[in-house]
Structure 1
Amino acid sequence: MPHLALYTFGVLKSPLTDPTPLTRELQDSGKVIYWKISQHPGYLARAEAAVGGRGTHFDLDWGAWGEFAIPAWYGKGHTVETTALDATLSLWTDLHPAFDAIYTGLHREALNRRYDWFERTGHSNYVSWWVSDGVIPTWQDGVSRLEHLDDHGSAPHAFTFHHPFAPDGTPTRIKSIGSKGEQIR
């Protein structure tokens, strides 16, 4: 049974090492949100660096998730002092659980404030695709599919929640959550 891979990428307004309260707030809320999402039905796994890893995203050991990679258009730093990005790579049982985890609860609250922390880049900030059971997506997979999405729009190879595809490549829809429905972007 295929699983859904989800890659997110955002360019921060300030480097991760910025000591301001806003940057600390993002980092602190991220820890809570990651924990909450990991408890969500349908969540399988996310890329996490090996325990005890030090350095930037680029220097860490990501194990089966592969070497850390970023979109070609990211123009900020790669050092501890200058890295200004946030990226996630996760695996889900299906579209609906991933959508539900992203667009409800604590993560939804953070999305409502995303422009407090993230730049508006004009590029897609997430992409989804299907992987075969037992396959671990890599950071490079996420980057290549995000860039494909930017260049070609949603397709079975790389899609958004707004224009999703089923594992067989046919267009599908995600039913709205709750009585009001959800606005998806």
Structure 2
Amino acid sequence: MYNFGLHVAPFESDAVEGFRLREPANFEAARRACGFVGRSGYAGEPGVRSWGPQVFPRFIEGSGFDAAPSSLSLWADIESLMAFSYDGVHADALKHARNWNVKPTWPPLVLWWVGPHHRPDWAEAVERFEHLADNGPSARAFTFKIPFGPDGAAIEIDRARVKELAARNAETQADLLAHVRTLKV
């Protein structure tokens, strides 16, 4: 999974402080989530190693920024990613995202399947993201709304499993959710 956005102001500004304050909790919530495999870090920052040089999609051009909020992660399946994304700590951040990010004219994220020994890098992620933006969903690059399986066939997301995973995540992330709810928006 790769996502990309543009903030309304520089990362260090008060305007995006709520995002900045939530970022560590979001990374920890992902780490604790069912089905999380791993994520890329960011070159030059402590912590998780970067999966290659970070690059950005063409949508950053003309923004005045040379970097933008984006993430690249691996998940066991779509349901695990969906349970993390739309419930708990990350859902709290999504609820407030309009305060920190410009309204996008691009997809919010791109999903694609990788083989068991393949770890995507930032360049592959951006290529898939731009492919989705240019061509719409396909087995090569898709979204939660129009998902495809590893075999390339269209699939239905198992919503009952998403709810079950979200409930399991809630048990392991209750402390993080309580914390983010105290933070400035």
The SS at the match of 1:73 is: helix
1:23 deviates by 1.7
Equivalences for residues 115-130 of structure 1 within 5 A: 115-130=98-113
Q: Percent identity?
A: 29
Matches of 2:72 and 2:108 in 1, distance apart?
Answer: 12
The 5-angstrom pairing of residues 25-40 of structure 1 reads 25-40=18-33
**Structure 1 CA distance for aligned equivalents of residues 32 and 40 of structure 2:** 15
Paired positions, count: 159
Counterpart AA for 1:9:
F
Q: Report if the CA contact (8 A) 1:62-1:68 is conserved.
A: no
Q: Secondary structure at the match of 2:142?
A: coil
Please give the TM-score of this superposition, normalised by the length of structure 1: 0.80
Deviation at 1:111, TM superposition (A): 0.9
When normalised by structure 2's length, the TM-score is 0.80
TM-fit CA distance, 1:77: 3.9
Over the aligned positions, Cα root-mean-square deviation in angstroms equals 1.9
For structure 1, the 5+ residue unaligned runs are: 1-5, 55-60, 180-185
1:73 has 2:59 as partner: yes
More displaced 10-residue stretch of structure 1: 163-172 or 101-110: 101-110
Give the number of the structure whose residues are more often helix, by fraction: 2
- Distance, in Å, in 1 between the alignment partners of 2:10 and 2:97 is 15
Distance 1:173 1:141 in 2: 25
Within 1, Cα distance between the matches of 2:42 and 2:71? 11
Partner of 1:14: 9
1:133 to 102, 111, 116: 116
Deviation at 1:62, TM superposition (A): 5.1
2:2–2:71 Cα contact (<8 Å) kept: yes
* Cα displacement (A) at 1:107: 0.7
Give matches, 1:47-66, under 5 Å.
Answer: 47-49=40-42, 53=44, 63=50, 65-66=51-52
Runs of 4+ in 1 over 4 A off after TM superposition: none
Please list the CA deviations of residues 41-87 of structure 1 after superposition, one character each: whole Å capped at 9, or x if unmatched: 1001000136xx25xxxxxx954x111110112133455xxx4x200
In structure 1, C-alpha distance between the alignment counterparts of 2:49 and 2:163, rounded to whole Å: 36
Task: After superposition, give the CA deviation of every residue in 1:129-159 in whole Å (9 maximum; x if it has no partner).
Answer: 0000011111011111111111111100000
Equivalent position of 2:17 in the other structure: 24
Aligned amino acid, residue 81 of structure 2? A
Task: Name the CA distance, whole Å, in 1 between partners of 2:65 and 2:93.
Answer: 25
- Whichever residue aligns with residue 86 of structure 1, its letter is P
